[in-house]
Amino acid sequence: MDRGVQVTHFIKEAVPEARTKAEAEQVQTQIKRAIFDDKYNRAAGNKDFAEFVDEVFVPWAKASKRSWQDDEERARPLKAFFEGKRLRDITPMLIEKYKQQRLNTTTLHKRKRSPATVNRELQVLSKVFSMAYDNGLVETNPMRRVHRLREAPARERYLTDEEEKKLFAILVGRRAHIRPIVVVALHTGMRQGEILGLKWENVDFEQEAIFVAHTKTGRPRKLPMGEPVKVELRSLKQDALPHEHVFSYARTGLKLTTFRHAWEGACQAAKISSLRFHDLRHTFATRLRAKGVHEMDIMSLLGHTTLQMTARYTHAIPENLRTAVNSLTNGPAVSSETHPEPSLTVGLPPRSARSAPRSRQLATGTEGM
């Protein structure tokens, strides 16, 4: 016999679970399969998880998604938790342990990690295994047997009129550079990345429009410039150095990559709590809806692909709800002439049929209809 297939003598351990010869042979077959897979069949789930993420998933995300950096960041805790694990070693039970561990650890800002954050990480994990499955590296996606965490309802936060006054009151002096960014956000609904990446070549003062070339969805859109935006950008254009980007560092000309600390400092100075910059986008949508703008138009301005997503950005303003209810109180009373009392005979047969003898009703089939 060819020594290359003679593996029986390598199995030295007794298997107490095997009570019969048939069971022992079955165990032997499983052990042989495991030995073969581990040594020869590297494609059968033996690929290291972290290596697969770095070599396959991340390059795919970079080539396919504008938000690839988010996916790369979400993959970091996954690689750390499953360090040294092969693809086939990751089971639904192990993923459940990951979920609990992530929920029980705080963020860098010492805040409790939200279920939504963990769910976004699990989406990345599911995509990783889908790609591994498509490439024949695993037999199944373990995420199919893992339930997502229940998320809290979407927050309803937007800038109120009073807060807006307080905010712009402090956007002067050393904070004046934030003012045009906030104005653009409030009056166009552009995302932070879209604003910071805006170039002068995409600002058309003659057509009074802004062309957003690079968007999250990959679909460029053209936005009309309202008067507040035109005033801010014209002023910025006059005073700006010949830099490519609208919002850039004065010394280097490089575009602003973030202004999180400046934004948080401004909100703190204005005594406005729990307001993210992204909430200005919600404010834009909410104010348009309050003005009666159609949802399809709001969806187009925001660059959404579904009305469901747009609905998450539009919130009811309490004052408008109160006005709506009060309009019923202040309106004319409902007249009984306009809305007469419903007839008690609605749904009954015509009077002639109801007054007909019972024998006739049975004959015409009206009984029991």
Lowest mean pLDDT among 223-232, 320-329, 340-349: 340-349
Model confidence at 85, pLDDT cuts 50, 70, 90, reads very high
39: pLDDT strictly greater than 50? no
Beta carbons of 96 and 145 less than 8 angstroms apart: no
Label residues 293-314 b or e (16+ Cβ within 10 Å = b): eeeeebbebbbbeeeeebbebb
Beta carbons of 31 and 9 less than 8 angstroms apart: no
Read off the pLDDT of residues 158-175 as tens digits, 9 standing for 90 and up.
Answer: 899 999 999 999 999 999
108: pLDDT strictly greater than 60? yes
Token pair in block for residue 235 = 């002023």
Lowest mean pLDDT among 50-59, 196-205, 320-329, 355-364: 355-364
Model confidence at 353, pLDDT cuts 50, 70, 90, reads very low
| 3-class SS of residue 255 | strand
pTM score, whole prediction: 0.58
Read off the pLDDT of residues 183-235 as tens digits, 9 standing for 90 and up.
Answer: 999 999 999 989 998 999 999 999 999 999 888 777 889 999 999 999 999 99
Q: Give the CATH number of domain 161-316; options: 3.40.50.300, 3.40.630.30, 2.30.30.140, 1.10.443.10.
A: 1.10.443.10
Read off the pLDDT of residues 58-77 as tens digits, 9 standing for 90 and up.
Answer: 999 998 887 888 999 999 99
335: pLDDT strictly greater than 50? no
* Whole-number pLDDT of residue 306: 82
Token pair in block for residue 107 = 């963020």
* Whole-number pLDDT of residue 270: 96
* Whole-number pLDDT of residue 328: 66
Model confidence at 363, pLDDT cuts 50, 70, 90, reads very low
Sheet holding 209-212, edge to edge: 203-204, 209-212, 221-224
Model confidence at 111, pLDDT cuts 50, 70, 90, reads confident
Fold of 49-145: DNA polymerase; domain 1 (1.10.150)
Q: Which residues pair with 199 in a beta bridge?
A: 245
* Whole-number pLDDT of residue 46: 86
**Eight-class DSSP state of 54:** I
Residue that has been written with the tokens 């306009």 in this structure: 338
Lowest mean pLDDT among 10-24, 149-163, 227-241: 10-24
Torsion of CA 131, 132, 135, 140, to 10 degrees: -110
Model confidence at 152, pLDDT cuts 50, 70, 90, reads confident
284: pLDDT strictly greater than 70? yes
Taking the domains of the chain in order of start, what are their residue ranges?
A: 9-39, 49-145, 161-316
Model confidence at 350, pLDDT cuts 50, 70, 90, reads very low
Average pLDDT over residues 122-147: 95
* Whole-number pLDDT of residue 165: 96
Read off the pLDDT of residues 253-273 as tens digits, 9 standing for 90 and up.
Answer: 566 777 888 899 999 999 999
Whole-angstrom distance, CA of residue 256 vs CA of residue 249: 6
Which comes out higher in pLDDT, residue 344 or 205? 205
Whole-angstrom distance, CA of residue 346 vs CA of residue 344: 6
Q: CA–CA distance from 99 to each of 58, 163, 179, 235, 344 (Å)?
A: 22, 38, 41, 50, 61
* Whole-number pLDDT of residue 133: 94
